[in-house]
Amino acid sequence: MQSPFNTERLSRELTNLMERTRDRQLRLAVTGLSQAGKTAFLTSLVNQLRHAGLEAQLDLLPAAREGRLLGAQRLTQPDLGVPRFPYDAALSALNAKPPRWPEPTRGISELRLQLRYRPAQRGWLTPEFSHLTLDLFDYPGEWLLDLPMLAHDFDSWCQAQTQHNGVHRQALFSAWQTGVEQLDPAAEADEAQLADLAAAYADGLKQAKQAGFSDLQPGRFLLPGELDGAPVLQFFPLPDIELSTEQRQALPENSVYATLAKRFRYYQQHIVKPFYRDHFRRFDRQIVLVDVLGALNAGPERFEDLSRALQQLMHSFDYGQRSLLTRLFSPRIDRLAIAATKADHVTPDQHGNLVRLLEGLLAEPLKDLRFADIPVKALSLAAIRATQAREVNQQGQRLAALYGTTLEGEEVLIYPGDVPARLPDEHFWQQQGFDFPHFRPMGSSHEALAHIRMDAAIDWLLGDKLA
């Protein structure tokens, strides 16, 4: 007869115990450009975890399906100087009459959750309950595109900012363009003139955002907060400088060129770096949210613009040994999800295409991730479902349709159209336009929020920690 106290088993049990009893933390980065759905995702994530033991629909998350996940409690966050993620305000908006989407994020906020669960396999040393601390934070998507700026110096940034612009985008910057063409980089800087031109540039960025463009730098120009009026936000790219590197570097400190370059460097050092150092320095898991449907709606120039912005962004993170972020702050990430959000805005039969289109958009970064051997899952989801999938009978055919309420308050039953399975080419844009509708949230009053595949996302991002 074998003794129950054999050393191998004891050793395994002890390791298990240590794992269970030490303070286990998971820091999750929710990455997404403005409008990608970060706030909705975080609100739903907190909501699903809090209702996990009760009415939340989380069948794709084993710990919840097996009844082992008992719920989540908000803890005091570590940094007292950062606002708390406004979960209650977001829920109030969703449950208002009529229901509203939560306000877009205008600053940084944090949330710390403690998840309580029963371990799947219990030995005689395993405690009955375990805890996992989950650190989340939210921030304006506008600021995210500042990260790729760290890879530039002022000259290369000027080039990058002016080489890819299509006609629609250029038109939005015409006031700035006219002014900057008359500016002599070698002349003595006039504070007031630079301030005016920077305001015109910021105005162009704001209009471009309004018009559906994504590749917008510098991000703080869109949401300046307490930096409004500071010289660090008063620079802009200089297009077509006809000066050699030596000539540029020989320009006096008070020249237009040197003043703008100095402010660019100050922006990198004092605005961008601290943001990433404080918030992206250490995270274990990441989900990248992309509003693919919004970009399809906006047409080819803006779709191309989103694609470029995402590639820049993912390239900055890019997870290999030599990535920008690794060199700067050495984050360790062991798992990544990419998600096309707002999947409830198309019929379920289109979700497959949505994921394939997302994979097409992120093809280059996905290669890097595969090379770095970081597991990635691509999915489509709706963090907070705003529609119901229906079927309609048309001339004897059963067709998929969506039932929901538009932002204007009209109840509709529609077929919103097909999502292409690959990146649309020029021919495609000419033949077919996209016009996916926008829906308002359904309003749920005190129950868990309805969703699509939030459980799959949660399982991928933290399911293994609840085993």
Question: Given the rule CB under 8 A, which residues bind its own copies?
Answer: 74, 76-77, 80-84, 86, 107, 109, 189, 191, 195, 225-232, 254, 259, 262-263, 266, 270-271
Q: Which is nearer to its own copies, 100 or 265 (CB)?
A: 265
Q: Which is nearer to its own copies, 4 or 81 (CB)?
A: 81
Q: Are 444 and 326 in contact (CB under 8 A)?
A: no
- Residue 96 CA to residue 51 CA, distance in Å, equals 20
For residue 185, the 8-state DSSP code is T
Smallest distance from its own copies to CB 115, Å: 17
For residue 268, the 8-state DSSP code is I
Q: Which is nearer to its own copies, 227 or 324 (CB)?
A: 227
Smallest distance from its own copies to CB 278, Å: 13
Q: Are 382 and 441 in contact (CB under 8 A)?
A: no
Distance of CA 1 to the CA centre of its chain: 57
Q: Which is nearer to its own copies, 68 or 263 (CB)?
A: 263
Q: Which is nearer to its own copies, 111 or 362 (CB)?
A: 111
Q: Which is nearer to its own copies, 224 or 360 (CB)?
A: 224
Q: Are 353 and 333 in contact (CB under 8 A)?
A: no
Backbone angles phi, psi at 302, to 5 degrees: -75, -30
Smallest distance from its own copies to CB 146, Å: 15
What are all long-range contacts of 446-450, with beta carbons under 8 Å and residues at least 24 apart?
A: 446/95, 447/51, 447/55, 448/47, 448/48, 448/51, 448/54, 448/55, 448/56, 448/57, 449/43, 449/44, 449/47, 449/48, 449/94, 449/383, 449/384, 449/385, 450/57, 450/384, 450/385
Nearest residue to 138 via CA among 107, 169, 174, 160: 107
Smallest distance from its own copies to CB 222, Å: 16
Nearest residue to 319 via CA among 251, 367, 250: 367
For residue 288, the 8-state DSSP code is E
Q: Which is nearer to its own copies, 234 or 307 (CB)?
A: 234
